[in-house]
Structure 1
């Protein structure tokens, strides 16, 4: 770990370098960078990860349309490769060169708001745009009574995909996927055959750490209490969850050696798994890479203990747009954000329909309502199911320390890999989390409390 003095010295050098080059910074003591075109228009810089060509084309098209409608402002976009994203963002914040507008994922919003690195949008936009958001998503972008980001997309982390042809072979109704945990186990035992596994899902510690956030919410559990003062992982909800998950292994439904990474739908598509828990991004992969098997695949919410699916079955990842905390043009930046994400539903319909192939979802009620009139969306049962049965109940990715998620994941692995008693494994996790809280003075640091 770098010493804080070294970090401060490097940051100082970067800021000095920025000033000498004639560009004002956006650090704590700097001003937002100001750039003007030859014809006197104010430049707003936007940074976004480089996802794919279709997404880049969508950004360029809509930014060009916006720029043509403006007399005094021009938006410039920079696409940053995903593997360089975090490093570039941190370097810009340290150097005071952050852009006016930045994409940000949900679990960074609260801490960024608390630290003042992003501005609240409420003073610059019509309050009606917040009424258009689903209630759970409204909470994702809020801190201390204000809104600090506007959602671009939602990406549920857990959907149940299954092979209808394998259901028929096993004597199961292909139009009736399992809803309860008991049915899930029963179906899984019937579907496994030879080298084909009954279920593919998270297969290593890191994957277990983040893919089970929705499952934890499903059973009403959290590894730590609300003020982050004490571990709550050694409790009945987690006993129930670990017992269920380990049963999938004991019954041979879920293999100890995963047939592929969680983010890859290939095991299901290639017939090596009869069911698979995967994120909504699997839809895009299936439609682009495996069109020949689409009619053999069904999707559903992940089964719940009692079959009640009006509960969380997934966590929601995704991206938003935010205004830099020291931008000198927050009104202009907010105007663009509102134009792109919160105004004409057709802009976002184009994104969900033509860019993501309905594998990403809207946080806006008006967009989902408008999609009901779109023939392609209207006939897309997968989109409809996820939008109506998964997204409204899903939870935000947690903002507590990643170490807590790893303590949970290790607890799961101790049970199914090492055959550790569930209660004993959770006791170890409880000790780990309480030790982290003590060593890091973590008690009372939850910004939402």
Structure 2
């Protein structure tokens, strides 16, 4: 098929060729007859089909069309959906499940936070032993944890996103990056310290590496020594001008993307997606794990997860056929790379066009943690985030901020 553009409108198409960007009205899908192909409805999140990425549109169109050719008994009803707010995938799933269950898709993709909400609402169906053995065995155990809920696999990881450090073009990376080496070599540290809710991921990694812990229910366990020593780094770094309170306004690494490219020195926390976007554009960047006290290489992992949303056995069979087909390692790496994302399977990751980065990612995955669930650790996470903000603005010392956290939780 010819290269295709994506529309921001939900679109249904029998041939699975994506609509042009000039489309203004959704194309209605044909009504299946008893003798015609059975319908497979897929809701595809907009971030996995960005409008400004023509190559991604072409590759996705080709993959969907190839599935259609090889499975002529299935008619693919493909709908591009926004992710957030009213009309987003999660909100529509929740609303339709009660009043119009027939309007639900058979298959869609969610980030982990949304998957947990959907799972708690009973909107998802288990994938345990429903996908091919080859796919299951090719997914690292820590990656499978992304889609786990109450000892069931409800989400199958498709693309991954990790956090790590990148150094500006031309900067010589230190041999080992630790919190002490940042201070000793006077390297500015730039990270998304802000958070609309809960605890920022960088402080979470550093706190856990210092001896903090997460409970079996996913909540933060307060360790005064680990928190105090981590906050002490920020107190000292602030005094030396190596961290800036403006970091509290950064919610995501893209907020300081231009600084990474233009500044001559610094350790900038990035997502793997942002890193790949830049190196694919020809920007040469050094890499390192997030700095911790002892140099432990840790990261927070997140990603897009396939979820099964139909309870009908025949529709589930069609959805699983498509899911197993899309998780062919070659198809997965082909599409993940044009999205500047990491594939979830080991075989696909080994085919990444940057072998050294693939090895770096594989090492990070050996010690990756899950994002905190807001429901499981809300109060503790917010208290620790407030403590960081107080230290980074010079309002409290590390000792005082730690005591504030303990007092707040004890009360």
Scaled by the length of structure 2, what TM-score is found? 0.78
Q: Please tell me whether the aligned partners of residues 211 and 223 of structure 2 are also in contact (alpha carbons under 8 angstroms).
A: no
SS in 1 for 2:362: helix
Are residues 412 and 148 of structure 1, via their aligned partners in 2, closer, same or farther at CA, if it must alter by over 3 Å?
same
Matched with 1:99 is 105
Shift of 1:122: 2.6
Distance 1:340 1:154 in 2: 15
Match of 1:160 among 147, 160, 165: 165
- In 2: Cα distance, 1:142 partner to 1:227 partner: 13
Q: Which residue of 279, 298, 313 maps to 2:286?
A: 298
Cα distance in 2 for partners of 1:339, 1:325 equals 18
Q: CA deviation at 1:150?
A: 1.3
Structure 2 residue aligned with 1:186 = 184
**Cα deviations by residue, 1:96-118 (Å, 9 ceiling, x for unpaired):** 33211111112344554454311
CA shift at 1:317, angstroms? 1.3
Is 1:64 matched up with 2:56?
no
Separation in 2 of the partners of 1:434 and 1:100?
Answer: 46
Offset of 1:133 from its aligned partner? 0.8
Please give the alpha-carbon distance, in whole angstroms, between the structure 2 residues aligned to 1:408 and 1:279: 22
Work out whether residues 301 and 389 of structure 1, in 8 Å CA contact, stay in contact via their aligned partners in 2.
no
* Alignment partner, residue 344 of structure 2: 363
Q: Which consecutive residues of structure 1, in runs of 5 or more, have no partner in the other structure? A: 1-33, 168-173, 192-197, 436-449
Structure 1 residue corresponding to 2:334, chosen from 350, 358, 364: 350
Q: Determine if contact 1:58/1:355 at 8 Å carries over to the other structure.
A: no
1:174-213 correspondence runs (5 A): 174-187=172-185, 189=186, 191=187, 198-206=188-196, 209-212=199-202, 213=204
Give the Cα–Cα distance (whole angstroms) in 1 for the partners of residues 220 and 303 of structure 2.
Answer: 28
* Separation in structure 2 between the aligned mates of residue 324 and residue 144 of structure 1, nearest angstrom: 17
The 2-side partners of 1:98 and 1:119 are apart by 13
- In structure 2, the residue matched to 1:339 is 325
How big is each residue's C-alpha offset from its partner over 1:180-228, in whole Å with a ceiling of 9 and x where there is no partner? 22112122x2x5xxxxxx2221243438833333333333424x64347
Root-mean-square deviation (CA, aligned residues, Å) is 3.0
Normalising by structure 1, what TM-score? 0.72
- Which stretch has the larger CA shift, 104-113 or 405-414? 104-113
CA contact (8 A) 1:301 1:390 kept: yes
Q: How many Å apart are 1:78 and its aligned residue? A: 1.2
Q: Go from structure 1 to structure 2 and tell me whether the alpha carbon gap of 1:266 and 1:288 turns closer, same or farther (over 3 Å shift).
A: farther
Structure 2 unaligned regions, length at least 5: 1-28
**Structure 1 segment 139-150 matched on structure 2, within 5 A:** 139-150=145-156
Q: Which residue of 1 aligns with 2:7?
A: none
Note if contact 1:260-1:266 (Cα within 8 Å) is conserved in structure 2. Answer: no
Q: Is the 8 A contact 2:131 2:324 kept in 1?
A: yes
C-alpha spacing 1:340/1:57, structure 2 compared with 1 (3 Å): same
- Deviation string for 1:81-106 (max 9, x for gaps)? 34442443433344333211111112
1:323 aligns with 2:337: no
State the shift of 1:431 in Å: 5.2
- The CA distance in 2 between the partners of 1:108 and 1:434, in whole Å, is 31
Of residues 240, 260, 268, the one that matches 1:251 is 240
